[in-house]
């Protein structure tokens, strides 16, 4: 203890909730935050499900900020700043993966008790998640039809579809360093490309390109965590609803398995066959 009078170091704007009682409550919009969990059924597990979903949505958004920062840094050939943003993102991803613990104990009986209130709602419709997918390079214009009645989400996603992905910008760095990189397909998913794999092989084989190899490893750390999140989603679904079809209209488990089996940044994985 210093004995000094505590000086609040936070200042708040004039838009604070009138009933907020402490500076903390004002700053984090506590009353508003706690008013956002509104279960529809009498099943207590629905509250846990809502909290888990909202926590993950916030973390998706945080991750989007980090990956956007990493992409901007790559555009400037600033590998240090890109590495820092990816590393911060990896910590966010670790929390995202652990967030599945919130749902790990949910039984089929508990899930069935509130599943009807979901109607056709599915995390598959999360535009925040789709922005992350587009940043990874998993682009699909077809998915935008979901947002035809939500112009703001549609416009944001449409712009993201047309903007080079994080991986596109990483490959553009390689291209500026003299490696041969084929042009990215505009607005559609980048599939595995032998020429991109050859470029990464050159990077990993040349000590003078060690900074690019470090970038490759940072991207791989990110990729692995994306897959980990998908695998834990798959396990949670298998536990709570088995192989039944999803509320979003997919086949459920088999669809999620296919999604989890897709390598993120595929050439960074396949190049390992040759190293």
List residues near ligand HEM by CB under 6 A. 52-53, 56-57, 103, 106, 122-124, 126, 129, 230, 233, 236-237, 240-241, 246-250, 252, 255-256, 259
User: Per-residue DSSP letters for the chain?
Assistant: ---PPP-------TT--TT--SHHHHHTTHHHHHTS----SS-THHHHHHHHHHHHHHHHHHHHHHHHHHHHHHHTT-HHHHHHHHHHHHHHHHHHHHGGGGGTT--HHHHHHHHHHHTT--GGG-HHHHHHHHHHT---GGGGGGGTT-HHHHHHHHHHHHSPPHHHHHHHHHHHTT---PPPPTTSPPPP-HHHHHHHHHHHH-GGGHHHHHHHHHHHHHHHHHHHHHHHHHHHHHHHHTTPPPTTSS-SHHHHHHHHHSPSSHHHHHGGGT-
Query: Cβ closer to ligand HEM: 73 or 241?
Result: 241
Query: Cβ closer to ligand HEM: 80 or 251?
Result: 251
Query: Cβ closer to ligand HEM: 105 or 195?
Result: 105
Query: Cβ closer to ligand HEM: 16 or 254?
Result: 254
Least separation, in Å, of the C-beta of 45 and ligand HEM? 9
Least separation, in Å, of the C-beta of 12 and ligand HEM? 30
Query: Cβ closer to ligand HEM: 52 or 86?
Result: 52
Least separation, in Å, of the C-beta of 53 and ligand HEM? 4
Least separation, in Å, of the C-beta of 197 and ligand HEM? 24
Least separation, in Å, of the C-beta of 187 and ligand HEM? 18
């Amino acid at each position: 203890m210093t004995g000094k009078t505590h000086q609040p170091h936070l200042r708040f704007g004039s838009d604070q909730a009138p009933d907020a009682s402490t500076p903390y409550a004002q700053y984090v919009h506590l009353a508003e935050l706690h008013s956002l969990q509104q279960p529809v059924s009498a099943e207590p597990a629905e509250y846990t499900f809502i909290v888990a979903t909202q926590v993950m949505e916030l973390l998706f958004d945080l991750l989007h900020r980090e990956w956007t920062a990493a992409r901007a840094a790559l555009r400037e050939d600033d590998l240090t700043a890109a590495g820092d943003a990816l590393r911060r993102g990896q910590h966010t991803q670790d929390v995202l993966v652990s967030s599945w613990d919130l749902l790990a104990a949910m039984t089929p009986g508990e899930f069935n008790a509130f599943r009807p209130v979901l109607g056709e709602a599915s995390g598959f419709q999360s535009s925040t998640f789709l922005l992350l997918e587009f940043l990874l390079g998993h682009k699909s214009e077809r998915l935008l039809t979901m947002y035809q009645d939500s112009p703001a989400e549609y416009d944001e996603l449409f712009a993201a579809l047309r903007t080079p992905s994080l991986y596109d910008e990483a490959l553009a760095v390689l291209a500026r360093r003299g490696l041969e990189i084929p042009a990215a397909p505009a607005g559609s998913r980048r599939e595995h490309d032998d020429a991109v794999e050859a470029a990464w092989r050159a990077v990993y084989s040349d000590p003078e390109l060690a900074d690019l190899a470090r970038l490759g490893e940072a991207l791989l750390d990110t990729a692995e965590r994306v897959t980990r999140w998908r695998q834990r989603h798959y396990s949670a679904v298998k536990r709570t609803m088995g192989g039944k079809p999803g509320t979003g209209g997919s086949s459920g488990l088999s669809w999620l398995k296919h999604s989890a089996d897709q390598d993120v940044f595929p050439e960074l994985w396949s190049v390992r066959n040759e190293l």
